[in-house]
Amino acid sequence: MSKLNQFLSGVRVLDLTRHLPGPLATLYLADMGAEVIKIEPPTGDEARSLGRKNANGRTDFFDAIQAGKRTRMMDFTQAEDVEAFIELVKTADILVESFRPGVMDKLGIGFKRLREINPGLICCSLPGYGSGTPLSHAAGHDANYLSLAGVLGATGAEEKPYYFNPPVADCTGSLTAVTSILGALQARHRTGEGCEIEVALADVVMPLQTMTIAELNGTGQSPEREKELLNGGAAFYRIYETKDKKHVMLGSVEPKFWKAFCEAAGREDLIARQWEPTPQTKMIKELDALFAEMTLAECEEKFIPADCCFTPVLNLQEALESPYHQARQLVRKDDKGAYQALFPVYVDGEAPALRPELIEESS
pLDDT tens digit at each of 363 positions of the chain: 789 999 999 999 999 999 999 999 999 999 999 999 999 999 888 888 888 888 888 899 999 999 999 999 999 999 999 999 999 999 999 999 999 999 999 999 999 999 999 999 999 999 999 999 999 999 999 999 999 999 888 887 777 888 888 999 999 999 999 999 999 999 999 999 999 999 999 999 999 989 888 888 888 888 776 677 778 899 999 999 999 999 999 999 999 999 999 999 999 999 999 999 999 999 999 999 999 999 999 999 999 999 999 999 999 999 999 999 999 999 999 998 999 999 999 999 999 999 999 998 875
**First-residue to last-residue Cα distance in the chain:** 28
Q: Looking at residue 350, what DSSP letter applies? A: B
Taking a C-beta distance cutoff of 8 angstroms, is the pair 47, 61 a contact? yes
C-alpha 156, offset from chain centre: 20
> What are the start and end residues of each CATH 3.30.1540.10 domain in the chain?
232-313
Question: Tell me, which fold does domain 232-313 have in CATH?
Answer: formyl-coa transferase, domain 3 (3.30.1540)
* Pairing of the two strands 237-241 and 247-251: antiparallel
Give the separation between CA 274 and CA 267, rounded to whole angstroms: 12
Residues designated catalytic: 141, 170
Where along the chain do the CATH 3.40.50.10540 domains lie? 4-207+352-360
* CATH number for the domain whose boundaries are 4-207+352-360: 3.40.50.10540
Q: Quick one: angle between helices 296-303 and 255-265, nearest 10? A: 120
Give bridge partners of residue 293 from the DSSP assignment. none
Question: pTM of this prediction?
Answer: 0.92
In terms of DSSP bridges, do strands 35-40 and 12-16 run parallel, antiparallel, or are they unpaired? parallel
Q: What residues contact residue 169 under an 8 Å CB cut-off, 6+ apart? A: 142, 145, 146, 149, 201, 202, 204, 205
Residue 73 CA to residue 330 CA, distance in Å, equals 32
